[in-house]
Amino acid sequence: MKRVLIGGFLSLIGSIWAMAVLFVAGSNLTSGWTTPPGRFMTTVAEMGLSEVFGMAILFVVLGIVIMMVELFRRDKQ
């Protein structure tokens, strides 16, 4: 149960960080960009939020993985 809570909090924190980056970058879109990364990711990179956005995605994925492992665990205590 403790690991499920840890996974849930990691996912929640990652989601909040990702939404903050999405809000900030969406409010200040760049005027020039190239097609492969796109306008949004170019804005995130120019604002220096790439590391924060990457950590947010990592936290969300890690939290979901922890919760899924605990869901399918066979030895219930």
Residue 7 lies in a domain: yes
Question: What's the pLDDT score for residue 50?
Answer: 93
Residue 76 lies in a domain: no
Q: Distance (Å, rounded) from C-alpha 31 to C-alpha 28? A: 9
Amino acid at the residue 76: K
Name residues of the chain where pLDDT drops below 50. none
**Domain boundaries, position 50:** 2-71
Give the number of residues written for the chain.
77
Phi, psi (5° rounding) for residue 74?
Answer: -85, -40
Residue 77 lies in a domain: no
Looking at the structure of the chain, the number of domains it has is 1
Question: What's the pLDDT score for residue 15?
Answer: 96
